């Protein structure tokens, strides 16, 4: 399945994307916003090969309209009974930060989640030091629902982790 936005194309993640994911995983300026750990080629390949088998997720590579792979976005923990899912996005290529690609890709996946999958809610977790992502999520309409106080230890300091959610009726506005 392919989803198209104004600036981005969301397509299935392929084994050929491995080197980009390894590079982003090993870049502390990128991974500090995600798992905060490095993954090697073998781990990334195993993850990519497992994607089609897991029905509780939809994972996409983010490409520019020109075909450059710049990140990924996912719906994880898809719960058909409660009609919700965990939303995640990563623009791993720093040349594309703060230039609208994350917003465009997010809009495409959120539209798909609410219109095609008929989900009621998307939720996410974000670290307090990820100001750019917090701004993106607020622009998309996500609301802060809670705080896990001092839940993350990064850079010799404890940080809060915010829980945010977006309801379908909020997205329709």
pLDDT, residue 34, reads 75
Residue 15 token pair: 């084994």
Q: Is the pLDDT of residue 8 over 70?
A: yes
Catalytic annotation on 162? no
Tokens 């703060």 correspond to 98
**CATH code of the region 3-172:** 3.40.630.30
Q: Output phi, psi for 47, to 5 deg.
A: -60, -45
Over residues 1-17, mean pLDDT: 94
Residue 86 token pair: 């965990």
Closest CA to 89 of 104, 78, 99, 79: 104
- The catalytic residue among 96, 103, 137, 162 is 137
pLDDT in tens, 139-148: 999 999 999 9
Q: Is 121 helix (H, G, I), strand (E, B) or coil?
A: strand
Contact yes or no for 63/44 (Cβ under 8 A): no
Total-model pTM = 0.90
Between CA 171 and CA 168 the distance in angstroms is 5
Q: Is 129 helix (H, G, I), strand (E, B) or coil?
A: coil
pLDDT in tens, 70-123: 999 999 999 999 999 999 999 989 899 889 999 999 999 999 999 999 999 999
Q: List helix spans (H) across 14-77.
A: 18-25, 28-31, 41-50
pLDDT, residue 36, reads 59
């Amino acid at each position: 399945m392919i989803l198209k936005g104004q600036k981005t194309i969301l397509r299935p993640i392929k084994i050929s994307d491995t080197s980009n994911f390894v590079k982003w995983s090993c870049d502390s300026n990128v991974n500090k916003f995600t798992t905060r750990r490095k993954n090697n080629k073998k781990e990334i390949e195993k993850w990519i090969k497992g994607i089609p088998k897991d029905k509780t997720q939809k994972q996409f590579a983010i490409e520019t309209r020109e075909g450059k792979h710049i990140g990924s976005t996912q719906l994880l923990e898809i719960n058909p009974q409660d009609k919700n899912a965990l939303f995640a996005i990563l623009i791993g290529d720093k040349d594309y930060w703060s230039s609208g690609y994350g917003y465009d890709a997010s809009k495409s996946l959120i539209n798909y989640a609410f219109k095609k999958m008929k989900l009621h809610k998307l939720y996410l977790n974000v670290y307090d030091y990820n100001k750019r992502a917090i701004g993106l999520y607020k622009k998309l309409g996500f609301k802060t629902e809670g705080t896990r106080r001092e839940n993350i230890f990064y850079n010799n300091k404890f940080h809060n982790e915010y829980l945010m959610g977006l309801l379908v009726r909020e997205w329709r506005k």
